[in-house]
Structure 1
Amino acid sequence: MAKISPLMIAPPAIFAGLAALFFFGMQRENPDELPSTMTGKPAPVVQVTPLGDKTPFTDADLRSGGVKLLNYWASWCAPCRVEHPVLEDLASQGITIYGVNYKDKPGNALGFLNELGDPYAAIGADENGRMALDWGVYGVPETYVIDGKGNIVLRFAGPITERVLESQIMPAIEKAKGTR
């Protein structure tokens, strides 16, 4: 009787394991969406510094009731320019948006807001990226929908376009309001 070597079993076992990983990974609803362990949990602590003469926000602001967005952005970020008109529109509709200027030069950040408008109810700087690490930010822009208790309802990585607004952000805002 021939002996079966572990070296003969290893390749098919590895292949089966990888195939299972790929199969279950493809079963996600949106394979392009970056997963977040923050959804459903309290928002991490706010650690921002003032940006110029802009009013900074605090940790208490995120937990003060009402739905709000927290948006990470930077002047050097091209997709941030793309999403900016959508943020301006949301702010004009009464949605509270807090801005976190990420690893940016204050003069450049203020110039960006002077040029494109300021949709933020309050804003702070995260010059060294420490707060972004605590929030699990992959890059900018990145936006969080936060409910009235300060819990994260949705994390969206990338620019908010009209399509994203309709398909993800607005449903998350409604969920945060408790109507969905």
Structure 2
Amino acid sequence: MMRGFLPIIIFIGLGIALAISLTKDPRRLEAALIDQPFPEFSLSSLDDPDAILTEQTVKGQISVVNVFGSWCVTCNVEHPILMDITKDESIRLVGLNWRDGREKARDWLDKRGDPYDVIVFDPDSELAIPLGVSGAPETFVTDETGRIRYKHSGAISFEDWEKTFLPLLKKLEAE
């Protein structure tokens, strides 16, 4: 008799699991690296293959690290917001060009504008994997010591910038 109810019980269990997963905002994924040092890396700059960038790139001042790619549709949506954000020259925006070709990425930025102070070129996910990047765009905030203080998955909206990023940046500046 219990065998007849087993498919119903499994179906109900899967339905409950699905319902719970749909209540979570995928843009607010918890990052295992929060309050951890930015991962060590040694990668070239997008603009100069001979210029090697390391984790020191995000140390010494508060940085906003944005993962993007020319292939990323959502990055097209987010890009005008990044251009607007960096009109405030006190914001240090570090780009992480992920899974891209150097020329494609440069052409993409030449057409849309380049909001980044420096761009790390990561075609083979050498930095993206240790950062736990699951898709683009993703954005991290690091403090002056290079510790990751926040991770945002998905495109940044003006509302996200005003309500989450700016208060965090002001808090980090005050520390």
TM-score class, shorter: 0.7 to 0.9
Q: Give the deviation of 1:90 after TM superposition.
A: 1.9
Partner of 1:171: 167
The farther-off stretch of 31-40 and 90-99 is 31-40
Supply the distance in 1 between the matched residues of 2:145 and 2:77 (Cα, whole angstroms). 30
Select 2:40's aligned residue among 21, 40, 45: 45
1:1-180 matched pairs, under 5 angstroms: 31-32=25-26, 33-53=28-48, 57-64=53-60, 66-94=61-89, 95-178=91-174
Equivalent pairs, count = 164
| Letter matched to residue 81 of structure 1 | N
Question: Which structure has the greater CA radius of gyration?
Answer: 1
- What percentage of residue pairs aligned between the two structures are identical? 29
| Letter matched to residue 118 of structure 2 | A
Could you tell me whether the CA contact under 8 Å between 1:57 and 1:98 is conserved in 2? no
Q: Give the deviation of 1:103 after TM superposition.
A: 0.6
Supply the distance in 2 between the matched residues of 1:91 and 1:57 (Cα, whole angstroms). 21
Please, which runs of 5 or more residues in structure 1 have no aligned partner? 1-6
Q: Give the deviation of 1:153 after TM superposition.
A: 1.1
Q: Once superposed, what is the RMSD of the aligned Cα atoms?
A: 2.7
Give the structure-1-normalised TM-score. 0.78
Please, which runs of 5 or more residues in structure 2 have no aligned partner? none
Supply the distance in 1 between the matched residues of 2:55 and 2:76 (Cα, whole angstroms). 26
Supply the distance in 2 between the matched residues of 1:100 and 1:78 (Cα, whole angstroms). 16
Give the structure-2-normalised TM-score. 0.80
